[in-house]
Structure 1
Amino acid sequence: MPRRFPKCLSIANQIGDRRVDRVLCAIFEREEKAYADAEKSYNEMVEEVEVRREYRHGLIVELMKLDRDFVLDECLAVLRAAEQEDFAEISRLIQMSHAAAIRAGEKGRIVRKLRKLG
């Protein structure tokens, strides 16, 4: 690995191999792992938001059973709006998790191709 590629050279030193295919394989393995970790964290965040949404929905159901007045209606409207925001956040997190899984799969395919070459 020539000296004019310092980043690749540092990776080559870390893995102990200066062959280009091995360095590329190490790079894509790291990216695959990063995307897989991101997918896991997004899924954990989805679970946390879902628990919060379920708890808030339980509150809404209980408050709807009470006598209605102006203050209660206003509070219910705020809680329902927050619940809708939670639905939007869950949707966004699911999309991000899906995108991370796709990227991890792409990186994994590249790693497998590089291993076949080496």
Structure 2
Amino acid sequence: MPPRFSKCLSIAKKIGDCRVHKVLCAIFEREERAYMDAESSYNEMLEEVEARREYRHGLIVELMKIERDCVLDECLAILRAAEQEDFAEISRLIMMSHSAALRAGEKGRVARKLRKLA
């Protein structure tokens, strides 16, 4: 590889091979791993938010059984608003996890094609 491709040269030195398809394969494998890690972290965050939402929903149900007054109604409104924000965050995390999985699959397909060249 010519010296003007410094990033590719550094990867070539790390993997010990200067063939272009090997370097590209290493790049796509790294990106695939990164997206797989991102997907798993999104799924972990999703589980945490879901647990928080379930706990909060349990509180709302218990508070609704209690006699109502102004203070209680205000607390219920705040808890319900927070629950709606959790639903929005859950949907955002699901979309991000899905897109990371799609990107990982795309990078994996390219890496497999490049491995076949070798």
- Cα separation, 2, equivalents of 1:4 and 1:46: 43
| TM-score of the aligned structures, taking structure 1 as reference length | 0.99
- Cα separation, 2, equivalents of 1:59 and 1:110: 49
- Cα separation, 2, equivalents of 1:43 and 1:4: 40
> Residue 61 of structure 1 corresponds to which residue in structure 2?
61
Equivalent AA in structure 1 for residue 67 of structure 2? D
Q: Where do 5+ consecutive residues of structure 2 fail to align?
A: none
How many angstroms does 1:18 deviate by?
A: 0.3
* Percentage identity across paired residues of the two chains: 81
| TM-score of the aligned structures, taking structure 2 as reference length | 0.99
- Cα separation, 1, equivalents of 2:40 and 2:88: 19
Aligned residues: 118
C-alpha deviations, 1:45-79, integer Å up to 9, x for none? 00000000000001001111111001100100000
C-alpha deviations, 1:20-42, integer Å up to 9, x for none? 00000000000000000000000
Q: Where do 5+ consecutive residues of structure 1 fail to align?
A: none
C-alpha deviations, 1:58-112, integer Å up to 9, x for none? 1001111111001100100000000000000000000000000000000000001
Equivalent AA in structure 2 for residue 60 of structure 1? I
- Cα separation, 1, equivalents of 2:2 and 2:25: 18
